[in-house]
Amino acid sequence: MNTERYGIILNVERYEECVSFYRDALGLNVMFSKIDGDFKLTCVEFGAGYLMIETDGFAEPLGKSIKTCPSKLRFNVSDIEEALKRVKNLGIPFEFIESDWGSTINIYDPDGNRIGIRDEVSFKLQVNA
């Protein structure tokens, strides 16, 4: 199979808040949006792929568990300290984990979907080990 583009579809309940979060807080560029009756979607750049935010999901604002949300969006960044500073400045609740394999900032979007922000340097070290 020759994949031309890859993407993730994320169904959300708090559509406007989630679009704002991914666009404004995480800085993802909007590719396009569509409204068809009650159905809405916004497609944002996600690295070389895309994240399509669509309606018809469910929210757990305090954060979904692995059981209710077995997938986690991961953003690898060049400067984890700068990312942590941004998360703090935006007032986003977070958990910061430092381990022998690297550092990760765990957060939730407005629907409670799990997100991890990880340092790229330690990830590359794992890949090249």
CATH number of 39's domain: 3.10.180.10
pTM: 0.92
In a domain, residue 97? The reply is yes
> Domain tally for the chain?
1
75 in a domain, yes or no?
Answer: yes
Q: Is residue 100 pLDDT above 90, yes or no? A: no
Q: Which residue segment(s) compose the domain that 78 sits in?
A: 7-127
Amino acid 9: pLDDT: 98
- The three-state DSSP-derived secondary structure of the chain is CCCCCCEEEEECCCHHHHHHHHHHHCCCCEEEEEEECCEEEEEEEECCEEEEEECCCCCCCCCCCCCCCCCCEEEEECCHHHHHHHHHHCCCCCEEEEECCEEEEEEECCCCCEEEEEEHHHHHHHHCC
pLDDT in tens, 16-69: 999 999 999 999 999 999 999 999 999 999 999 999 999 999 999 889 999 999
Question: To the nearest whole percent, how much of the chain has pLDDT over 90?
Answer: 88
- Domain membership of residue 111 (yes or no) is yes
